[in-house]
Structure 1
Amino acid sequence: MSLSNWTIGQIWIEDSRPEDVAEPWVTVVAGIFMILTSALGIFINLFVLQRFLCKNMSSFYIMCSSKTISNSMILLCYVIFNGPVSVIRRYYGPEFLNMILNQMAAYGIYVQGPMTQVCISFNRFLIIYFATSAKQTNGKTATIIALSICWLISLFVTVAGIPGNCTNIFNFDILTWDNLDPCVDTLADSVMYWIGFLAVISNTFNVVVAIKLIVSSTKPHMDSVASKRRRRTSRRLFFQSCFQDWIYLIDTINSMYVYTWCAEILWQFFFTIFSNLFVHFADGCIMLFFNYEKKRVLLRLPGKKKECTFINVTF
């Protein structure tokens, strides 16, 4: 089957694009899959955000909260547009809606995640190497300023190409993104190389932190409860940062290289749309896994009195 007249009239076709359109049942199944996965991802990210808001909002939790918001915004694009459009096999709303939502998912809000990851890795670096200074300094103001700059960059990338139609659109005929103009490839390359550069910086901080943690583990420590808890927390947050960096790096490789290896529709779908969707779903799962705390409930048996000895300790 050839591309539909609408598709031919709207997109600039590259050699790496699929040559055939997807079968109707494939499009419907993919749309349902996008809706369900994105809805579950939004629920997980908002649940994690709620848990973070109940904590003492340190700089680390402020940055993680920002990531849950950007993740939810991208997943929302699949819930309200890409998924339903694929299910009903029909576009709704103005064409601008397709442009703005997919520009957010593919480039604009997407770059928010890697930029925030650099801030998180740098935060871990400061805590591990300069713990005393970090405790004495209130870094919340600097964190909010850094995140504000990241969000402004995301907004700029989202709207920069819209006046000249230099944007992505979602094409349900081939279950992936297509271009209104060849300039989108230039924008895509710029964004992907920027994300790769951010990944190098973030993982450099991770390697430096890993060296510190390994060296620290070989030294004798006080076996106090507080000391063990600090070391356990440092390792936990370090691994969280690493996993979050790696999933963005994998998605970047998928978006730049892997999807071009085959022109089959399902291959293109899994290494463009699904990869973009899944990274924000997985990011929320990682934050939930590494920050999940079981609530401890104390049960008192009826009819029994508990004897307590109170000790006053003066420090």
Structure 2
Amino acid sequence: MAANRFFVIYFPFRQKAKNRSYITMSAILICFALAIIYTILGLRKLCAYVYDPEQFEWRVEESECADQMTTLIFWSIIFLAALSNSFNVATGMKFLCTQVSGIRQDAAAKRRKKRLWLFVQCVIQDCLHLVDLVNSIFLFQLSEEIWFRYIFLCYSFLAIHAADGIVMLYFNSEVQPEWLQRIRQKHSRTGVVAVSSHNSLPQDLSRTH
């Protein structure tokens, strides 16, 4: 998502009308290829994660292959998070520095707000899985208590994916259910302040006196 938005914003005129989805499809294919490669690497003997029902945790098998896979996955996520957030920062700077011309001021402000929300959404989603990685590799070791490890291993793994969906739901109003849209509209209306016209100002002031 971050790379796709980056190339579309910085190189808009290099996309032909019939090949506008080329970058998006290429990014999807790359993601599928990486997922398949990591899956195949994990199919080797004694090179996977196993669930321990006594400790309520996923742990790596005791082998050199499993340790190598853990290190590979850890640094891969670090690299992808850094790369994605670099794209996000570059895209955000482009949004802030670019002046939209040819449209009304209110439409330009609305477009800028939408772009800012997409930027914030992408940054949050990139950081969520990094948080889960830190929980499952470092933080769970701070205590031997089962409940503590359950929170930072099993619960963290499930909560991060749920939070990912919640972020997408919150930042994209077109996919929100009607009850959530009504709540957001209600809150937006409560923030509107009515301003009296210039002609009615003396009357209001005279009433207060």
State percent identity of aligned pairs.
Answer: 31
C-alpha distance after superposition, 1:204-231 (max 9, x if no partner): 11111222223337x8884256534432
Q: In the alignment, which residue of structure 1 is the partner of 2:77?
A: 195
- Tell whether the 8 Å contact from 1:124 to 1:238 is kept in structure 2 after alignment: no
C-alpha distance after superposition, 1:53-79 (max 9, x if no partner): xxxxxxxxxxxxxxxxxxxxxxxxxxx
Q: In the alignment, which residue of structure 2 is the partner of 1:246?
A: 127
Q: CA deviation at 1:181?
A: 3.1
1:166 counterpart = 2:47: yes
Q: In the alignment, which residue of structure 2 is the partner of 1:204?
A: 86
Query: Aligned ranges for residues 282-297 of structure 1 at < 5 Å?
Result: 282-293=163-174
Q: CA deviation at 1:202?
A: 0.7
Judging changes above 3 Å, is the alpha-carbon distance between structure 1 residues 221 and 269 closer, same or farther for their aligned structure 2 residues?
A: farther
Judging changes above 3 Å, is the alpha-carbon distance between structure 1 residues 179 and 253 closer, same or farther for their aligned structure 2 residues?
A: closer
SS of 1:263 mapped into structure 2: coil
Q: CA deviation at 1:275?
A: 1.6
- Tell whether the 8 Å contact from 2:4 to 2:24 is kept in structure 1 after alignment: no
Q: In the alignment, which residue of structure 1 is the partner of 2:139?
A: 258
Residue identity in the other structure for 1:268:
R
Judging changes above 3 Å, is the alpha-carbon distance between structure 1 residues 211 and 260 closer, same or farther for their aligned structure 2 residues?
A: same
> Which among 99, 104, 129 is matched to residue 223 of structure 1?
104
Judging changes above 3 Å, is the alpha-carbon distance between structure 1 residues 220 and 153 closer, same or farther for their aligned structure 2 residues?
A: closer
Name stretches of at least 5 consecutive residues in structure 1 with no aligned partner: 1-119, 297-315
Q: CA deviation at 1:280?
A: 1.1
SS of 2:96 mapped into structure 1: helix
Q: CA deviation at 1:168?
A: 0.8
SS of 1:272 mapped into structure 2: helix
TM-score, scaled to structure 1: 0.50
Q: CA deviation at 1:142?
A: 3.2
Residue identity in the other structure for 2:96:
I
- Tell whether the 8 Å contact from 1:196 to 1:252 is kept in structure 2 after alignment: no
SS of 1:156 mapped into structure 2: helix
State how far apart, in whole Å, the 2-side matches of 1:178 and 1:148 are.
Answer: 30
1:145 counterpart = 2:29: no
Q: In the alignment, which residue of structure 2 is the partner of 1:127?
A: 8
- Tell whether the 8 Å contact from 1:168 to 1:177 is kept in structure 2 after alignment: yes
> Which among 255, 261, 271 is matched to residue 152 of structure 2?
271
Name stretches of at least 5 consecutive residues in structure 2 with no aligned partner: 182-209
Q: Count residues with an aligned counterpart.
A: 176
TM-score, scaled to structure 2: 0.72
Query: Aligned ranges for residues 1-315 of structure 1 at < 5 Å?
Result: 120-134=1-15, 136=17, 138-182=19-63, 183-216=65-98, 222-223=103-104, 226-293=107-174
Provide runs of 4+ in structure 1 moved above 6 Å. none
